[in-house]
Amino acid sequence: MAGHSAGTEIERLIQLLSRLPGLGPRSARRAALQLLGKKETLMRPLADALQDAADHVLTCTTCGNLDTTDPCSICADGRRDKGVICVVEQVADLWALERAGANSGQYHVLGGTLSALDGVGPDDLNISGLVTRVSGSDVREVVLALNATVDGQATAHYITDQLEGSGANVSQVAHGVPVGGELDYLDDGTLAAAMKARRPF
Amino acid sequence: MAGHSAGTEIERLIQLLSRLPGLGPRSARRAALQLLGKKETLMRPLADALQDAADHVLTCTTCGNLDTTDPCSICADGRRDKGVICVVEQVADLWALERAGANSGQYHVLGGTLSALDGVGPDDLNISGLVTRVSGSDVREVVLALNATVDGQATAHYITDQLEGSGANVSQVAHGVPVGGELDYLDDGTLAAAMKARRPF
């Protein structure tokens, strides 16, 4: 709340801004003031961009990516390898891999991980969609790019079981020392995983 | 940039969100994904709130506050003391004082401080408006609530000179140990100011 001095329009704006991740009540007030000081160059363009994106952005029914077309531009891109599907938890992970140029194949967004604690079961994730995509297709490899957390790994095991007999090989991204990382600053789990997965030099 | 996988609508949204204070490129991407996941409960309401605020929020021509009316609700409030004007740098400072209920009088927003480094002179601030408001009125006290910085204090001295002979007393908010503050953690300047301004207990 900005206090009773600000109009309800401002209070409502601050209240909505404070629901964005990374913005608390104080930074939402700062953001609102910045926006009100740049009505034509920032505030109205942002309002339009929000409206446009809300109107035009769809979830790809094939892979779960967000795009303005369905199928999305990745699924529709004939130059990408149809034989490889990279499985990620969230659209943000897909974007990260695309920024890195790390995958020239397709994607499949699960929408989360299995989690006993949070009550997330297989039916809450887009796993059956993955099995359907893979079975009876010419997909030869499913690359699991899930987070290296307990829930991520449990999900990886579950998916591997489900894809048994589908004809596709299931692989997983390597876990180890991050590029540029210093051993001294890494946690024990990462070091143990990196040592266990050592390769000929 | 979200990479070429995201539609231009999403990239434009991320680019605009990243211009808000407190949001960098990474948190702007997270915010965009959160918004796209809550189209009806957050994204469209935020677009509407931005549009509404851009359309209806004005700068009060009397005091410089932001509100949907001009004069603003504080200037128009007959229950507030017309004899006291509290001078602040920014609207955010006005909001902070209102949240604290620290001022029952009027306000005057300067829009910044004098700054030789940034090339901000008296004509860039709403100082002449303050002098006009005070002279020939029944304002008996002008309270300077400027930041306790070099620029803030230089501005305070300049305003005091300008109001010389206006008939109003000029005062300044106290500088000292913050309530709840521990002496051991305070800087030398604050401790020296608090000691110099000591009062009978």
ipTM of predicted complex? 0.82
Looking at residue B108, its pLDDT comes to: 97
Chain A hits for B10, CB-CB cut-off 8 Å, are 53, 57, 66-67
Strand partners, B66: B59
Looking at residue B2, its pLDDT comes to: 44
Give the Cβ contact number of residue A128 at 10 Å. 11
Is the per-residue pLDDT at A4 higher than 80?
Answer: no
Tokens read off for A29: 């007030």
Please give the residue that has the higher pLDDT: either A185 or B115: B115
Residue A71: cis peptide before it, omega within 30 degrees of 0:
yes
Q: Which of A 117-176 lie inside 8 A of B, CB atoms?
A: none
pLDDT class of A185 with cuts at 50, 70, 90? confident
For chain B, what are the domain ranges?
8-56, 66-172
Q: Which residues, 6 or more positions from A46, have their beta carbon under 8 angstroms from its beta carbon?
A: A35, B13, B16, B17, B50
Facing B31 at nearest CB: one of A22, A35, A73: A22
Instruction: Convert the pLDDT of each residue in A159-168 to its tens digit.
Output: 999 999 898 9
Q: Which of A 18-77 lie inside 8 A of B, CB atoms?
A: 19-23, 27, 29-36, 39, 42-54, 56-57, 65-69, 72-74
Q: Following DSSP, what letter does each residue of A10-64 receive, concatenated? A: HHHHHHHHTTSTT--HHHHHHHHHHHHHTIIIIIHHHHHHHHHHHHH-EE-TTT-
Instruction: Convert the pLDDT of each residue in A104-162 to its tens digit.
Output: 999 999 999 999 899 999 999 999 999 999 998 889 999 999 998 999 999 999 999 99
Looking at residue A2, its pLDDT comes to: 44
Percent of chain A whose predicted confidence (pLDDT) is above 70:
97
Q: Using the beta-carbon criterion (under 8 Å), do A23 and B22 form an inter-chain contact? A: yes
Facing A6 at nearest CB: one of B5, B39, B66: B66
Looking at residue B79, its pLDDT comes to: 96
Strand partners, A86: A107, A143
Looking at residue A6, its pLDDT comes to: 62
For chain A, give the mean pLDDT: 92
CATH number of A8-56: 1.10.8.420
The answer to whether B195 faces chain A, any CB pair under 8 Å, is no
Facing A5 at nearest CB: one of B16, B52, B73: B73
Q: How far apart are CA A77 and CA A67, in angstroms?
A: 13
Q: For residue A107, which phi and psi values (nearest 5 degrees)?
A: -130, 165
Q: How far apart are CA A112 and CA A192, in angstroms?
A: 26
**If you measure CA to CA, which chain A residue comes closest to B101?**
A3
Q: How far apart are CA A138 and CA A84, in angstroms?
A: 9
> Between helices A25-37 and B91-100, what is the axis angle to 10°?
140
Looking at residue A35, its pLDDT comes to: 96
Of the ranges A6-10, A52-56, A93-97, B56-60, which one carries the lowest mean pLDDT score?
A6-10
The answer to whether A4 faces chain B, any CB pair under 8 Å, is yes
Give 10-residue mean pLDDT values along chain B (201 residues).
63 95 92 95 97 95 95 95 95 93 95 93 95 92 93 95 93 90 86 85 84
**If you measure CA to CA, which chain A residue comes closest to B98?**
A3
Class of domain B66-172: alpha beta
